[in-house]
Structure 1
């Protein structure tokens, strides 16, 4: 999650920046920090300096050269966090595509690299345990993709548009990646939904055609890709790589509920419902990222974009989701089969109904909490005041200052 703008940043060049409020919108689904945008600690900076010093020393033997190669590689991967996941991907892809299809290595890697359970003679794929390997492998892919885009694409863009503060650069990079990811996942999800009897957010087909045992290639790739994306995000939170915010507990709960919904909907064949829930999150988060990015660029269109974001949030996160919740109460039992049968994998029954309603209802409560914060920001924006983000601790104001900048300031003072 990107760090909010401090309230002191609401004035630039002597004028009030109404758009600065946009940088403080509380949003649950904007990503956790990437490895490349996490705060630089004194220890990590000191270790990097020590490696630079070691590389400058004279090499007197082959072993010294070998040590320098190892140190250089460590420093390179410290600066370019996308290199190690890229190597893992290249090594596994190469071994898979170049190995004998009948070899053990090829059969093992196949579980990770390509979707499993293709049904012969059809365009459909089934489900099974191998899908866990696929999700884990492509969580590595998302780690590479994000780090590469951050360092090699979005950081140069941030500098080219005149963003100089390191903390703001990092937040700008996070939002750009959100636009990039959701700008792909949202349209892809809409395209998949358009090919099903779900357009536009229809609910009756959830139950009329249940259970959905199989899916075509793109549906399965999309669904498992979402699972990989969210698993990678959850790992960042589990490792506590992000500095906790005031809404940290709500954010953790949101991730837990989302992953539970992904697994339960996939395992028990409620994937058509899951597709629509994904879309409500991805599309609203896309406009969320657009609003924040326009604020970092001090765009004159920040206000209208913000208003459009709020409208899209209310429609998708609340109106559509409440319609889905209402359908669980009114159509879940009355439309389609209603029985528990483990043999035929018929799970639309008295057990699953309260579970599905509870998970989606919990997600809706979290969204309502964030809507409350968003509307507070909107009210302050309409009033023309630069509001402090309700999620943020006061000390987060200093996040934009890296150790390098701190050292530079100390050097200037000493002069």
Structure 2
């Protein structure tokens, strides 16, 4: 039984301001998915079978070498069965293994054919397709530009696997030990800590890369008029295309993992799913109908704000003293990027979409800037803004309760952590 705390030793005031039940960076990973009872039992059975390898000949059935393993029914398993069981358990505990093997098979097959280049059928998986030579009808510039086409789906699919590997590997090999180093030991909070520290890594890189690309274009700094000038933007430099498709791969991978969270969805699960649906729709429509310059700006507003959101959450998990002050900084960044800049883009759709550049629907020339696309674009961005507005309401409510009522209980994460630990104890029993 736990002892009550002594009145002479007041506990430190702990803020949960960083543990915010919102944000599109809170998607789980394979390593942090809840483990059901069947999975736990199967894992323990494989572990018992593997551990029996060390038993001496007295424990092995007659005629079976000590190197054989025994399953849960004490039936002897041969070397191949042992290797297969070991592989299954290792890949179960190290969720980055199968994505890595898949990528190695594709890359190995690509180079094994002896004809690396666009003529290789696997080239489209690893490298961007539709490279255009300079001074052609489609590319009158001096640079190598890239067009768009169906092969871009294979590029996105391959890098969805890459992001699965990269995220799982970084979380399990580096961030999990880092959580222990920072004093985070509770299983639920270790999972949340790994998710948010990975978010810091990814969104910092993506946000910086996006700002750099934006600097190379006429849309710097959120020059909305340039969205519609010289439309349609059918070709891009390699760096722009790779960035855009990698973002599509990242969000596609996140959506797949999110849809796998069927047993124990979080309290903001519906909002998170809706946000991902709108985001995927915006990515595909903006790429297919050549509104990629606008899409780049939306990417940047999301990535930059998510860096501060993830840092705010991580500071809370380690119970840092600057959690409160940094939360105020995060609030300012969120309002500026997710609302001011996005509302500026929405306003440009109402005022500049039809007046700047051509305004007609022509499928032959791929001229899609028309009344229909204006309404669709506005509705999708407005839907995204509604989700952000809901999350903004939660942000200000958390701040209000903390400042004026000293309420420090979080709406989602602490309860989830406790539930996960209870589930873990039940599995152990």
Q: Using structure 2 for the length normalisation, give the TM-score.
A: 0.87
Q: CA deviation at 1:36?
A: 0.7
Output the CA distance in 2 between the equivalents of 1:188 and 1:110: 24
How far does the alpha carbon of each residue in 1:354-391 deviate from its partner, in whole angstroms, 9 at most, with x for none?
0000000111011101111111001112126234444x
The range that moved more, 300-309 or 246-255, is 246-255
Alignment-derived partner of residue 304 in structure 2: 283
How far does the alpha carbon of each residue in 1:271-303 deviate from its partner, in whole angstroms, 9 at most, with x for none?
000000001110001100001111111111111
Q: Secondary structure of 1:15's match?
A: coil
Q: Of the candidates 89, 112, 115, which is equivalent to residue 101 of structure 1? A: 115
Q: CA deviation at 1:16?
A: 4.5
> Do the aligned partners of 1:112 and 1:133 also contact (CA within 8 Å) in 2?
yes
Q: Of the candidates 216, 231, 249, which is equivalent to residue 195 of structure 1? A: 216
Alignment-derived partner of residue 324 in structure 2: 303
Q: Of the candidates 227, 237, 246, which is equivalent to residue 206 of structure 1? A: 227
> Do the aligned partners of 1:149 and 1:177 also contact (CA within 8 Å) in 2?
yes
Q: CA deviation at 1:189?
A: 0.2
How far does the alpha carbon of each residue in 1:147-181 deviate from its partner, in whole angstroms, 9 at most, with x for none?
00110000010111221111111111000100010
- Ranges in structure 1 where 5+ consecutive residues have no aligned partner: 1-12, 411-415
Q: Does 1:167 align with 2:162?
A: no
Output the CA distance in 1 between the equivalents of 2:35 and 2:422: 6
Structure 1 residues 308, 396: closer, same or farther in 2, change over 3 A?
same
Of the two, which has the highest radius of gyration? 2
Q: CA deviation at 1:182?
A: 0.3
> Do the aligned partners of 2:40 and 2:427 also contact (CA within 8 Å) in 1?
no
| Larger helix share, 1 or 2 | 1
Alignment-derived partner of residue 112 in structure 1: 125
Output the CA distance in 1 between the equivalents of 2:330 and 2:415: 28
Q: Does 1:348 align with 2:369?
A: yes
Give 1:166-315 correspondences, 5 Å limit. Answer: 166-241=187-262, 243-315=264-336
Output the CA distance in 2 between the equivalents of 1:65 and 1:138: 35
> Do the aligned partners of 2:16 and 2:410 also contact (CA within 8 Å) in 1?
no
Q: Does 1:55 align with 2:57?
A: no
Q: CA deviation at 1:245?
A: 2.8
- Ranges in structure 2 where 5+ consecutive residues have no aligned partner: 1-8, 53-59, 69-76, 135-142
Alignment-derived partner of residue 7 in structure 1: none
Q: Secondary structure of 1:81's match?
A: coil
Alignment-derived partner of residue 72 in structure 2: none
> Do the aligned partners of 2:229 and 2:356 also contact (CA within 8 Å) in 1?
yes
